Amino acid sequence: MSDRIIRSLFESRLKAWADTKVPKLAIAFEDVAFTPPDGPYLKAFLLPANPDSEDLEGKHVVYRGVFQISVVTRSGSGRGAAGLIAEEIAALFPNNLALTKSDFSVFVRSPMGTAPALQGETTSTLALSFQYRADTT
């Protein structure tokens, strides 16, 4: 399935960027053991929609969904750090960005959106997301 390829393209781009930060930004990937650090960190989620086909032969398959990145910071520290990280991530995944692996390409199909922050007892989470689309024939 192409969801696996889509996930790997988005996650590897995010990880390469996070590894350049000083200090490195840790990322909690889905279904991977993770111990949250004391400082800011990220959570990455692929939220695929049901695939579809837009031809009568059924050879074409379209993969659509949402890629979400949550920026987690300490509660009570304000929106500054999370906001700066969010701006850099938005620049990392601009609208119409194409990522390719072998002969498969996925496209960012919307500007990065920001949801209201979720306040916890010890952390604040700022969710960012964009829509994606990939077509096969």
**What CATH code is assigned to 2-136?**
3.30.2000.20
71: pLDDT strictly greater than 80: yes
**Using CA atoms, how far apart are residues 80 and 101, in angstroms rounded to an integer?**
35
pTM of this prediction?
Answer: 0.93
- Minimum mean pLDDT range among 2-16, 26-40, 65-79: 65-79
Can you list the pairs that 90-96 forms with residues at least 24 positions away whose Cβ atoms lie under 8 Å?
90/128, 92/13, 92/14, 92/17, 93/10, 93/13, 93/67, 93/130, 95/130
First-last CA distance in the chain:
14
- What tens digit of pLDDT does each residue of 79-98 get? 778 999 999 999 999 999 99
Cross-strand partners of 126: 71
Q: What number of residues does the chain have?
A: 137
